[in-house]
Structures are given as C-alpha cells and as structure tokens.
Amino acid sequence: MQGSPGAGPPLRNLGILAHVDAGKTTLTEQLLYLSGSIAAAGSVDRGTSVSDRMEVERRRGISVRASTLSFAWQGVQVNLIDTPGHTDFSAEVERSLRVLDAAVLVDCAAEGIQAQTETVWQALRGLGLPALVFLNKIDRVGADVDRVFAALRRELSPAMVRLNRAIDQGQAEAVVEALSDEARAELIEILASEDDLLLQQYLENDRVEPTVVQAALQRAVRDGRLFPVLCGSAKTGAGVAALLDAVARLLPDAGGDPQQPVSGVIYRLDHDPRLGRVAGVRLYAGTLRNRDRVLNHTAGREELITQVKRLALNRYEDTGLLRAGEIGCLCGMPEVRIGDVLGDPDPVPGGYALSEPLLSVQVKPDRPQDLAALVEAVHLLSSEDPHLDCRWHPDERELHLRIMGTVQTEILAEVLRVRFGLQAAFGSPTVIYRETPARVGYGEESYTMPKPCWAILRFRLEPGERGSGICYVSTVDKSAIHPKYQNEIETNLPESLRQGIKGWEVTDLRLTLVDGSHHLLHSRPGDFKLAANMAILKGLVETGTVLLEPMLAFRIAAPLESLGRVTADVVQRRGACEPAEIAGDQFVLHGRFPLATSMDYAVRLSSLTRGRGTLTARFSGYRECPDELGAVRPRRGVSPLDRARYILWWRGALTDSLAG
Ligand code: GDP
C-alpha cells in the first residue's frame, strides 16, 4: 500500500511449497541468511534449522507445523509462511494457502516433478495464486534443468517461462547465469504475444527496453498468466539472490487499506504454554492494536484482543500493531476457531473447499486411568483444528479421531506427550465410507404419544448426483408446520444424517419435506428433531442404501520397464487408468483407485519400481462400492428405528447402563 497514510513497506505474503526433501527448509535458511536475518544458515542435516520446530520434525526431518518467518529484501517486507510438505497435512497446506498472495514452488533439478508437486500446483491454480518455480539442487549429480523444465511445461503448465540458466550443473561449483540471447528473445516473444505495449515496441524497433520487458513480465506474473522458473542450489546459495529479486520485483503486493474498517480471517491456531491460545490472522483491511475490541463475524460475538504479536524465527515478538495486508498473531480469544472472520467479511477472499479427512483412527491411553484426561486433551486439540474431528462414544467408551493420513497419528502422539503429558496409542486407521439412497422412497413419523408432544412428518428421499451432497427443500406450508419447527428440522439435518442404515454419514441425497403438521398446544421444541431422525431413517430403510468409498486420483511416474507391473497392480486394486504417456525411458500414468486398497501404495510402488517410481494422490470424490468390498458398521448409540427405546432415551428416561 504505497502512498496511503500509515501504510508500511511493500509486503509479500509468500508460501514455499514443495515435496518433502526438495529442499524447502534449506532454502528458507538461505533466504533468511542472505537477507541478514540470521548470522549463519543452519542445516536440516545437523538439525539446527530455525524454521523447523517440533522434536518430531527434527527427528523425521520434515516440517509439520507451518511456521511464519519475516525478512526484508530491497525494501520489500517478505512474510514467509513455511507450509508443510507431507500429504497428511494437506489440510494445513490448504489453510495456509488461503492467506498467501503468492507462492514459490520448489522442485528438484535432479529428480524432476515429484509426487507432491502436482497436488500443490493444482491447489495453487484453484486459488489463482501467482507463483514462481525454483528448480533446486543444481549442484547435485544428475541435475538437468532443461529436462525438468520441459516436464514442468508439459505436465503442469505451458505458461512456464525460464528466467535464468545453470552452468556446471551436477557439480558443487554450479552457478546461475542470465539467459542466453536466444532464450531471452524467446521470452520476449512470449511476452509480446500477451502484451500489446511490448508487441508494439518489438515490431517497431526490433528491440525492447529492459524496463518494458520487466513491466510486462510483472503484469503477466501478477495476473497468473505466466509462471517464471528459476534455478539454483539452496545448499550452496547459488541462484538464491536471483530468486529473492524475482520475489521482490515480480510478485504482487499484499495491498489492503489500513484506514478501512478491520477485516481479517483466522487461519491457524497454536497453543503456547504462557500465552494460551494464539490465533494466526491475515488482515485484509484496517488496523488492529493491543486491547482492541472487534466483532467476530462468524461467531457473532465481540472479541477482546489482549495482545498483537508477530511470529518471527519461532518466537512471538510484541508488535502491538497489525496493518492491512499483514499476517500476525492475536492473543486473548479463548473460543476462536480456524476460519472465523473478524470484522467486515467483504474484503476476505472467497472460501476454498478444504479437504475432508478420509480416515478414522481409535486412540487409547497407555494407562486406563488416563482416559478422561485423554478425552479432554483430544477435545481441546480438535477445538483448535476443525479437521481433527473427534468423537467420543460413551456407550463403547471409545475415542475416535478423523485424520488425513497415518503420519498425523505420530505427530498427535508427540503433541499428547509433550503438551499434555499423556502416553497414548493409535489403532490402525480405517477408511471413512458414506452411504446414499439406492432409489426413491418415503419416510414418515407420527410422534403424538405420550403427550405432551406432537410432530407429524413425511419426507421424500431421492438419490442425488455423485458429489452433490445434501439438497433439502420443504413444500409444506408454514400454517401446517410453523417456521420455527421447519427450521428445527433443517438445522438438525447433519445429526439426522450422521448415521444411515449402514452406519455411515448419508450424502448425495435430495430430501423433500412433503407433508406434516404441528399442534398448537402439544408441540414442543425438539419434537420435530426427534421425529425427523426417526422418519428419515425409516425412509432410508425403504430406499435401501448404497455404500460409497473415497477415491484417489493418482499420478504415477516411473521407468518404462515397470509399466506392465504397475498397470496390472492398479487394476488389481480396483483402480482404472488412462493410457500411459511415455517420454524417453519414463512413463506417466494417471488414473483413480480406492483409498481402501491404496493406503500403502507409496511403499508398494517403491517395490514395483525398485524405488524409482513417484506417486501423487489426491482425493477425487466418492464412488459406489459393493458392501462386501467396503465396511458396514453397527449403529452407535440407540437407533431411531428402535422406536420406543429411542423416545425414552431422547426424553432422558433411559439410564446410561440401559442405553448400550
Ligand atoms: P525439505 O524436506 O523440502 O524441507 O528439504 P530439506 O531442506 O530438509 O532438504 C532435504 C535434503 O536435501 C537435505 O539433506 C538437504 O541437505 C538436501 N538439499 C537441500 N537443498 C539442496 C541443494 O541445493 N543441493 C543439494 N545437493 N542438496 C540439497
């Protein structure tokens, strides 16, 4: 925000995204070192890097929690949101992506496009974020920038353009140089095809001013029309200054007017032993100071922000002030949740569908007497992270969590140990299925006895299109069922549909309330919830349900000689693939397979390809699945189909011991 009073320096909220091991942590260290923020670049190999934090991260050499670091380069303030690379943390990656203005995608110049790269790329495109690509490790044996660049163009986007080249690749002395005259002419031609001003100069003079080239490139990058590719080595520092220059010159400014009313979104929560719940916020407009009161638009209550801080090099620094465009930390909001909007919702960019956890896992304390403490700790953790949906089943005395992947359980075990002093063990994860009606049917309920009560309802249930979720309408007049009861039915739907007749959440359903009545004297609040739970489940018995299983879209790249083995294996896992694309002695295969048959697939692929295959997989919707190939679960809790008992239970007349 140049020119406006109170605005800070130009700002870049930047994410570094990469496949595990591509060199993100090492690059982060170099950026901090070059910008003068740290005296010496640490090393991930020695476990001294500043951007990694938890013990488990150091031990496994992976970044789990995204940490925020800031530095300045050529008068530009860069906020680095260091996003985690492992698939299991894609929810956190996506969450971090929402607050970015641009991204640097790190790929390895020796290995080529890696598993996670494509997933991350698609997420970036989904958000329309400007991006740069850094081809790292030019010093490594086997580095081949030309080859990897060609693959990027072919597989990720034809709009990639190179901005520099590597000399002496594959050697420790590898350096980065400006493009050859030929390559530069090519770049100008590409720019001219998109930029009228540049085209005009080009046609008139046959040469173009460097400033005009720079300006055209900047516009194309900021609009997300072109994606510059730079190369270098995070380890030796080669090409890192050029990368910083590109970040400062080409990427967009965070913008936002500090004079406008406050508008921000909470994108992460952390727990600090001293400060309690610390909320990461991205401010889109306005200014926040210590002790400011602000409306939590999502929760509909006023919040008192006790302190405004910044997370720098993993320490909270007092700033007392946060301006539009900035990312910071807020203390003093014990109830705040991820995704909450503070102040004016208008400047906050539209939501982005976060991925759903697809696995469920049971957690048990090592010592039975710790169960209550464990339930409490897990509830607290899931209030911080809405993706960690925890379910306590009192009847079975079982605690279940929904997770993104298996590595997450290891992190959770560590968090439970360090933060809560609890030793806990996780069972093996199971797939989360869903169910959908098999055909059209009706479900009804007349809850009129024992008085006082009155709720009569009739629903029509229809299968919806795959991926359509729940579509609910009411054709019943408000004189027949009062709006407050109609509202009760609608807001209770997630509960009514939480367990179908096969034990799974019901989805892809078109539900219509077609008939019913309330009673002026007898109807009580809650009656329609109870009746709807019963009517809908009866309807599902009539329609029957089809099991749905989560599917993954995959991309497999491996040496050609393993193509036959890999394809046969995919088919055996009930998967399907498109014809393979072959380039040289490598193939790339795209297709889909069920999550249930592919949880261990990275390991399997490694053995099929002698460790030379790479896999990318991302959730790609649900597909019908025969019961015998999936899983049907017994009902948890009292079933609404067990009518008399259910009514007793609902009215609190069934004691706990009877309820099981
Ligand atoms: P991250 O998982 O993406 O954070 O990757 P790290 O920064 O932890 O790096 C993974 C490994 O690659 C470490 O052993 C690094 O020393 C090594 N590495 C990172 N950058 C380079 C580089 O530019 N050249 C070489 N030769 N090795 C590198």
3-state per-residue secondary structure call for 75-125? CEEEEEEECCCCHHHHHHHHHHHCCCCEEEEEEECCCECCHHHHHHHHHHH
Three-state secondary structure call for residue 432: coil
Residue 222 CA to residue 246 CA, distance in Å, equals 12
* pLDDT tens track for 3-25: 344 567 889 999 888 877 888 88
Question: Of 203-217, 300-314, 401-415, 492-506, where does mean pLDDT reach its minimum?
Answer: 401-415
CA distance 91 to 30: 27
pLDDT of residue 88 exceeding 60: no
3-state secondary structure 474-535: ECCCCCCCCHHHHHHHHHCHHHHCCCCCCCCEECCEEEEEEEEECCCCCCCCCHHHHHHHHH
Predicted confidence (pLDDT) at residue 395 exceeds the cutoff of 90: no
Report the pLDDT averaged over residues 231-236: 96
Say if residues 636 and 395 touch (Cβ distance below 8 Å): yes
CA atoms within 13 A on the CB side of 36: 5
- pLDDT confidence tier of residue 63, bands split at 50, 70 and 90: very low
DSSP percent split of the chain into helix, strand, coil, nearest 5: 30, 30, 40
Rounded to the nearest angstrom, the distance between the alpha carbon of 21 and the centre of ligand 1 is 6
Average pLDDT (258-262) is 94
Q: Nearest residue CA, atom 22 of ligand 1?
A: 137
The upper half-sphere exposure of residue 175, i.e. CA atoms within 13 Å in the direction of its Cβ, equals 3
| pLDDT score at 92 | 58
Q: Cα separation of 281 and 297, whole Å?
A: 14
Q: How far apart are CA 371 and CA 378, in angstroms?
A: 10
Cβ-proximal residues to 336 (8 Å cutoff; 6+ apart), any chain: 266, 269, 277, 279, 296, 299, 303, 330
Provide, rounded to the nearest whole percent, the portion of the chain with pLDDT above 90.
Answer: 51
**pLDDT above 60 for 605:** yes
pLDDT at 353: 47
pLDDT value at position 106?
Answer: 92
Interval 437-450 mean pLDDT: 94
Ligand 1: residue of 27, 30, 44, 62 to mutate (most ligand atoms within 8 A of CB) is 44
**Selected residue with higher pLDDT from 209 and 431:** 431
Average pLDDT of the residues in 502-508: 95
Burial 182-205 (b: 16+ CB within 10 A, else e): eeeeebbebbbebbeebbebbeee
310-339 exposure pattern, b = at least 16 Cβ within 10 A, e = fewer: bbbeeebeebebbbbbbbbbbbbbeebbbe
State the distance from the centre of ligand 1 to the C-alpha of 221, rounded, in angstroms: 27
| Percent of the chain at pLDDT exceeding 70 | 88
DSSP category for residue 636: P
Report whether 592 contacts 551 (CB < 8 A): yes
User: CA-CA distance, 305 to 289, in Å (whole number)?
Assistant: 8
Atom 6 (ligand 1): residue with closest C-alpha? 23
Range of weakest confidence among 88-92, 141-145, 255-259: 88-92
Nearest CA owner, ligand 1 atom 9: 23
The residue whose CA is least distant from atom 19 of ligand 1 is: 23
Q: How confident is the model at residue 115 (pLDDT cuts 50, 70, 90)?
A: low
Of the pLDDT bands very low, low, confident and very high (cuts 50, 70, 90), residue 596 is very high
Per DSSP, helices labelled H in 223-343 are 240-250
Q: Out of 167-171, 323-327, 416-420, 611-615, which region has the weakest mean confidence (pLDDT)?
A: 611-615
Residues with CB under 6 A from ligand 1: 18, 20-26, 44-45, 61-63, 85, 136-137, 139-140, 233-235
Please tell me the distance from the alpha carbon of residue 631 to that of residue 634, in angstroms, as a whole number.
10
Using CA positions, which residue lies closest to atom 11 of ligand 1? 21
* Ligand 1 mutation target, pool 24, 26, 62, 117, most atoms within 8 A of CB: 26
* 375 class by beta-carbon count within 10 Å (0-12 exposed, 13-18 middle, 19+ buried): middle
pLDDT at 60 over 60: no
Place of tokens 């079975």: 396
SS3 271: strand
Taking Cα atoms as reference points, which of 358, 363, 380, 511 lies closest to residue 430? 358
**Ligand 1 centre from 587 Cα, in Å?**
26
In the block, which residue shows the tokens 């995959």?
554
CA of 254 to the centre of ligand 1 (A): 29
Question: What's the pLDDT score for residue 313?
Answer: 61
How far apart (Å, rounded) are the C-alpha atoms in residues 430 and 568? 25
* Spatial contact of 97 and 121, defined as CB atoms under 8 Å apart: no
Give the lowest-confidence range in 123-132, 134-143, 246-255, 474-483. Answer: 123-132
Look at residue 166 and tell me whether its pLDDT is greater than 90: yes
Q: How confident is the model at residue 39 (pLDDT cuts 50, 70, 90)?
A: low
Which residues are 243's β-sheet partners?
none
In this prediction, residues 576-601 reach a mean pLDDT of: 90
Please tell me the distance between residue 64's alpha carbon and the centre of ligand 1 in angstroms.
16
Q: Ligand 1 centre from 17 Cα, in Å?
A: 13
